[in-house]
Amino acid sequence: MSRIAGVFARLRREGRGALIPFVEAYDPDRETSLTLLRGMAANGADIIEIGMPFTDPMADGPTIQAAGRRGLLAGATLKGVLGLVHEFRREDRHTPLVLMGYLNPIDSYGVEAFCEDAAKAGVDGLIIVDLPPEEADLVLPHANANALDVIRLVAPTTSDERLKQVLAGSSGFVYYVSITGITGTRTASAADLARDIPRIRAATDLPIAVGFGVRTPEQAATVVAHADAAIVASVLIETLCKENAEAVLRDVRALAEGVKAVHKAA
């Protein structure tokens, strides 16, 4: 069983949802990212998502755009990100790590080499924003060969018919982009989730994580009441900018409390 599947199986037995906080690699430097990864794992993160900086992040709002720019200024490269993962893995063998980014840097690295190196470094899954199912054959064989989960995005615009195609070949969990929009802007309501999640549930047995616009412990709790995991990104980056890494970990603790307060049927 993959590390990601293992975490969701355990949480199901415990009757709770997962918290997936986000770290933009090298924002504002490598040391801070490593501190955040370790600290998040120790403060209630069940899985951690790591953003790979790209010059043209077309699905991201101003907060993650700026974080990516700071990361690139600090010298982030894919090799550097994998090095960060490798270092984290020396001390933590159980917290799943998912890389999120855009295709071009991976394509430039070489898809096959990247999947091999990512698996070796200790990466568990990949989210490639601009790789829809129509183009996924570029990555799937290499990800599968290296036991990396390919996590698919599902959007409010994804029809029931299309869901089948989107979910074919996906593993780990499903990432539900809960709003039509970019990261860190609007927030889906409880009513939206109550309407949307069962639709996806009907099409897959995979756990469903909800991202885009999840900011507070209350919102994270609402998310896991309907889905299986809450992904929180932009608000943590804002806290890092305004305060520091300590404050981010404080917020992660609060978010984890929010998530844990919701008891789900096992």
CA angle (177 as vertex; 171, 183 as ends), nearest 5: 125
Q: 15 or 62: whose CB is closer to other proteins? A: 62
Q: How far apart (Å, rounded) are the C-alpha atoms in residues 133 and 137? A: 8
Q: Helix (H, G, I), strand (E, B), or coil: what is residue 39?
A: helix
Nearer to other proteins, 28 or 133 (CB): 133
Q: Which residues of the shown chain bind other proteins in the complex (CB under 8 A)? A: 54-59, 61-62, 65, 72, 77-79, 102-109, 129-135, 152-159, 162, 166, 177, 180-182, 185-186
> Rounded CA gap, 40 and 124, in Å?
17
For residue 94, what are the CA distances in angstroms to 4, 38, 233?
9, 12, 21
3-state secondary structure of 64: helix
Give whole-number Cα distances, 233 to 103, 131, 212, 222, 236, in Å: 20, 21, 8, 16, 6
Beta strand residue intervals within the chain, DSSP E: 18-24, 48-51, 97-101, 125-128, 149-150, 152-154, 174-177, 208-211, 229-232
Residue type, 78: L
**Closer residue to other proteins (CB): 155 or 262:** 155
Residues listed for the chain: 266
Shortest separation between residue 59's beta carbon and other proteins, angstroms: 5
State which residue, 107 or 257, has the beta carbon closest to other proteins: 107
Residues that are catalytic:
49, 60
Q: CA-to-CA distance for 71 and 52, rounded, in angstroms?
A: 9
Q: Give the nearest distance from C-beta 42 to other proteins in angstroms.
A: 31
Report the residue number, 55 or 244, with the smaller CB distance to other proteins.
55
